[in-house]
Amino acid sequence: MTIEKATLKDASALADFFLGHIEAHPEYISHGELQMGVGEGVIRNGVLEAFPAPDAREKWLRYIRHQLQAKAYAKVWKAVDEGAIVGFCVADIESDGDAPFGMICDILVKPGYRGHGAGSTLLNTALEWLRSKDVKGIYLESGKDNHAAHRFFEKRGFAHLSEIYKLG
């Protein structure tokens, strides 16, 4: 397995990978996917049930193309095994705070490759790039029920900071 910078040629494959995952695992959907229209949700008894939007692929494809073209403030890496994308990570630099800060926007690894270093290598690659940009803090968000990801991030030094709420 190798880690490579993703290119615009990878956009469609990345979109298919992402959409396939959120269709099978709606717990991945966080407020970021809801805000960008990739995910939708219904609140039942005070609990949000999230699912992919009907046009999720098109919206996420537009997003990933933008990230792939934003060379100065965003990077996308892919994990490749035998020519197939088995994971990816998107990181960018946000400037709407007191000082620029880093964001791990997405990190996703195919189930059969989890626990074998793909996610750690992708994350470390993104963290190295963000640190080289001298950002003030690095953040990420995760779906509220994506507990395996929460454990992954906490083992790597991330701390749970807040809760996000949505008005029905």
Q: Give the whole-angstrom CA distance, residue 159 versus residue 71.
A: 28
* Spatial CA neighbour of 52 closest among 37, 74, 71: 37
pTM: 0.94
85 located within any domain: yes
Q: Tell me the pLDDT of the chain (168 aa) as tens digits.
A: 999 999 999 999 999 999 999 999 998 999 999 999 999 999 899 888 999 999 999 999 999 999 999 989 999 999 999 999 999 999 999 998 899 999 999 999 999 999 999 999 999 999 999 999 999 999 999 998 899 999 999 999 999 999 888 887
161 located within any domain: no
- CATH number for the domain spanning 132: value is 3.40.630.30
Number of domains in the chain: 1
58 located within any domain: yes
168 located within any domain: no
Q: Strand 138-140 relative to strand 101-109: parallel, antiparallel, unpaired?
A: parallel
Beta bridge partners of 40: 51
129 located within any domain: yes
Res 50: pLDDT:
94
10 located within any domain: yes
Element at 115 (helix H, strand E):
none
Instruction: Please calculate the CA angle 144-117-22 and round it to the nearest 5 degrees.
Output: 35
